[in-house]
């Protein structure tokens, strides 16, 4: 399959629930160019790499990073989110639990740094699949209407979801047992909107990340019943200031929402240069994703891969329970143990491995990736978790926090309370009061 039209035909004939209709194209995956060197793990590498990828997919990743002048880490992570979306619930790993490669991938960077154009380009083949699914739905709907609407109404299918209200996401999951990917240019809006639904919507998202379906009842709607296993991914960009504002709430820290993400970062101190011309042709990337979309596979560890995961798991468990590890990192490590298996599925597919056993090589590459996701996660934790590192507050910060704690005080009283830095409040200094109430240090601005 080398044209968009052929890909569309293959996509339209596939069903979301049915068995795989694998498109056999021996040219999709060119293997063995990026060789694996075991000694590679003797040293910590600098970020996600192309190791283990099929040659043409690795070449596409490298050229995309060059086209948009963003780190290769970011491209590999975004490609991983795309692979997870097309694999959906039909490609899983089974051990004690069943896992699909549903990932929450966030790119931290400033506005205008190229993350959105790169994401759009990488997701373009999935939008093409969605276009074909829509055309198929319209044809079925027309046939249903011409037949007198006697049979059940056809169901619309899609992969990418941009309307991220809790109700629309629940309905989309019900329509798409294959799974969905929420793709947002700005994750900050998506995260902040969760607070408008009190706490239930966040709870639903956490349940879906765990792969579980739930029945959602609203007074104005019928019960929404979901598939038994849910594949729910999220991908998008977010600015550092948004993380500090939206993930600092105690609710987001305690419920585990902030710890489920795989974060990557675009440095703010690197200037981009003007580049004309067209981006790299992505025909092979389209073929690659379409091929995965048609597959249905159940993966397992090879014995050596399971041994590698066991050793890594036992090591980070020691760190998780250590008294020296802060609460944010403990929760993040617990989720990394799950994300590691999901990312192994992605790495297995990146390699175009026909075997249903995840190899030791793939496992070790994925586990090394986890160490870098962990590093970036810890950086996000410093932005979003006041207790992870000591923070200094300006007077404006102190005003806001004391105002929340003492809402009945008048503005004048609040001003006196904040400005009287060394005054006593029930014989305690204002610094001690704020530190006790909010876990923050206050300095004069």
pTM, to two decimals: 0.78
Cα angle for residues 221, 216, 249 (degrees, 5° grid): 120
How far is residue 247 from each of residues 7, 47, 259, 358, measured CA to CA in Å?
A: 40, 24, 10, 35
> Tens digits of per-residue pLDDT, 75-117?
999 999 999 999 999 999 998 889 999 999 999 988 888 889 9
C-alpha to C-alpha distance for 14 and 18, rounded to whole angstroms? 7
| Radius of gyration of the chain from its Cα atoms, rounded to whole angstroms | 24
Half-sphere exposure of 354 (CA within 13 A, CB side): 8
Quick check: helix, strand or coil at residue 112?
coil
b/e per residue 249-280 (b: at least 16 CB within 10 A): eeebbebbbbbbbbbbbbeeeeeeeeeeeeeb
Q: How far apart are CA 351 and CA 50, in angstroms?
A: 10
Give me the residues of the chain with pLDDT under 50, please: 1-28, 30-45, 388-396, 399, 421-445
Per-residue pLDDT at 416:
59
Tokens of 15: 């069903």
Q: What is the pLDDT of residue 298?
A: 96
Helix (H, G, I), strand (E, B) or coil at 389: coil
* Cα 170 to Cα 174: distance, rounded to the nearest angstrom: 6
pLDDT reported for residue 426: 39
Q: Is 281 left (phi over 0), alpha (psi -120 to 50) or beta?
A: beta
Domain 4-16+44-384 matching CATH 3.40.50: the answer reads yes
**Average pLDDT over the chain, rounded to an integer:** 78
Q: What is the pLDDT of residues 334-384, one digit of tens each?
A: 999 999 999 999 999 999 999 999 999 999 999 999 999 999 988 888 776
Break the chain into its structural domains and give their ranges. 4-16+44-384, 392-442
């Amino acid at each position: 399959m080398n044209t968009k039209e052929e890909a569309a035909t293959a996509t339209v004939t596939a069903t979301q629930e049915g068995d795989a209709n694998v498109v056999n194209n021996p040219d999709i995956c060119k293997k063995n160019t990026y060789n694996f060197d075991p000694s590679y793990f003797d040293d910590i590498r600098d970020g996600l790499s192309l190791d283990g990828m099929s040659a043409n997919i690795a070449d596409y990743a490298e050229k995309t990073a060059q086209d948009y002048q963003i780190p290769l880490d970011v491209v590999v992570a975004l490609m991983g989110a795309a692979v997870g979306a097309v694999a959906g619930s039909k490609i899983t790993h089974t051990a004690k639990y069943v896992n699909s490669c549903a990932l929450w991938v966030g790119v931290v960077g400033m506005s205008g740094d190229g993350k959105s154009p790169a994401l759009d380009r990488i997701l373009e083949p999935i939008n093409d699949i969605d276009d074909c699914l829509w055309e198929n739905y319209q044809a079925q709907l027309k046939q249903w209407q011409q037949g007198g609407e006697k049979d059940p109404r056809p169901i619309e299918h899609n992969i990418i979801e941009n309307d991220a209200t809790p109700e629309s996401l629940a309905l989309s999951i019900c329509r798409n047992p294959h799974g969905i990917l929420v793709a947002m240019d700005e994750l900050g809006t998506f995260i902040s909107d969760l607070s408008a639904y009190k706490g239930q919507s966040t709870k639903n998202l956490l349940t879906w990340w765990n792969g579980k379906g739930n029945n959602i009842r609203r007074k104005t709607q019928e019960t929404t019943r979901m598939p038994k296993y849910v594949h729910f991914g999220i991908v998008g960009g977010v600015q550092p200031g948004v993380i500090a504002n939206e993930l600092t709430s105690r609710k987001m820290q305690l419920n585990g929402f902030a710890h489920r993400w795989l974060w990557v970062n675009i440095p703010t101190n690197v200037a981009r240069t003007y580049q004309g011309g067209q981006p790299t042709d992505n025909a092979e990337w389209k073929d690659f994703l379409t091929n995965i979309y048609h597959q249905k596979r159940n993966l397992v560890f090879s014995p050596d891969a399971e041994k590698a995961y066991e050793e890594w798991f036992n090591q980070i468990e020691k760190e998780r329970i250590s008294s020296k590890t802060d609460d944010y990192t403990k929760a993040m490590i617990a989720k990394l143990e799950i994300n590691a298996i999901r990312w192994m599925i992605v790495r297995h597919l990146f390699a175009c491995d026909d075997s249903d056993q995840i190899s030791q090589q793939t496992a070790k590459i994925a586990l090394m990736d986890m160490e870098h996701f962990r590093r970036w996660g810890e950086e996000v934790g410093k932005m979003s978790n006041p207790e992870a590192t000591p923070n200094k507050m300006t007077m404006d910060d102190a005003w806001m926090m004391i105002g929340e704690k003492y809402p009945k005080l008048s503005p004048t009283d609040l001003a006196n309370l904040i400005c009287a830095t060394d005054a006593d409040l029930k014989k305690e200094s204002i610094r001690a009061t704020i530190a006790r109430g909010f876990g923050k240090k206050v300095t004069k601005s």
